Amino acid sequence: MTDRAVAVVRSGALATVQDLGRTGYAHLGVPRSGALDPGAARLVNRLVGNPEGAAVLETTVDGCAVRPRCAVTVAVGGAPCPVTVDGRPVAWGTAVRVPADALLDVGRAVRGLRAYVGFGGGISVDPVLGSRSTDLLSGLGPAPLADGTVLPLGAESAVRGSVDAPPWPGPPDELVLRVRLGPRDDWFTRGALHTLATRAYRVFTASNRIGLRTEGPPLERAITAELPSEGMVLGAVQVPPDGRPVVFLADHPTTGGYPVIAVARETDLAAAAQAAPGTVVRFVPTGC
């Protein structure tokens, strides 16, 4: 067959379709979703000549394998990983031409967690509320990839963009999150605020697209009353009853009932998407 589509041969641990997300629907309880490492998604799109908001594949840890039904230009970025076409190694971080019916295998991440696979023309599943992103919390968008899934592709551009940036900064050896305290920092003791700013945490294994969970010293509450549910934003550092901070990522809930001690800068969250379990996390309060 020569139709513009790719068939999933190996879906991996968790591979989803992502673009830059669906904004403007938080009041309806719909989170932004979208690529956790948007810079990597933009780069692979630029490499294959797509608009930066085209839909790509986001893989987790062990990649995926697909078989295009047509010849297509592909770029793999994000977490460094081995890439092969019909068993032959090809370059990571640059555009390659994959023949029709060849097996493109994106291997296990060497560093970091999430790789991004861009196809010329982009993945052309039906958009939902203006986005093709898979939202694991609400269930909007296409389901996570499964073996045998067939994904349609859009029309490929004849012009590819030049690379004007390093392929990828690499996963962090230490995740530094600049945060602005509030809105509920007054619900915590002075000692808890000092702990947040000076002690090291580590990425916990239960982290996912909804939130980066940490393990480390618990934060003591000054106010122990129940908090009515209130709006949550990307980067909110929520503190559940166990006292360990959770940093909300792209698929976060739009409301929550645990106090938010601080909010991380959005520009720091791409590094959070690539921080493997055990990575040291430091919260650095700033004035803005």
pLDDT tens readout for residues 83-131: 999 999 999 999 999 999 999 999 999 999 999 999 999 999 999 999 9
Please state, in angstroms and as integers, the Cα–Cα distance from residue 57 to each residue in 73, 181, 189, 215, 256, following that order.
14, 34, 43, 29, 29
Burial call 192-207: b when 16+ CB within 10 Å, e when fewer: bbebbeeeebbbbeeb
CATH 2.40.100.10 spans which residues of the chain?
Answer: 174-285
Q: For the segment 164-219, what is each residue's pLDDT rounded down to a tens digit?
A: 555 666 778 899 999 999 999 999 999 999 999 999 999 999 999 999 999 999 99
Confidence of residue 78 (pLDDT cuts 50, 70, 90): very high
pLDDT at 158: 67
What is the H or E stretch that residue 212 is in? strand 211-215
With a pLDDT cut of 90, the percent of the chain lying above it is 89
Please state the rounded mean pLDDT for residues 49-62.
97
Burial of 27 (0-12, 13-18, 19+ CB in 10 A): exposed
pLDDT at 265: 97
Residue 186: DSSP 8-state = G
Burial of 171 (0-12, 13-18, 19+ CB in 10 A): buried
What is the H or E stretch that residue 198 is in? helix 190-198
Indicate the pTM of the whole model: 0.94
Average pLDDT, the chain: 94
Answer whether residue 46 shows pLDDT above 90: yes
Q: Which two tokens stand for residue 143?
A: 């389901």
pLDDT at 28: 87
Rounded CA-CA distance 279/209 in Å is 16
Q: For the segment 259-270, what is each residue's pLDDT rounded down to a tens digit?
A: 999 999 999 999
- Choose the CATH number for 174-285 among 3.40.640.10, 3.20.20.70, 2.40.100.10, 3.20.20.80: 2.40.100.10
pLDDT at 163: 60
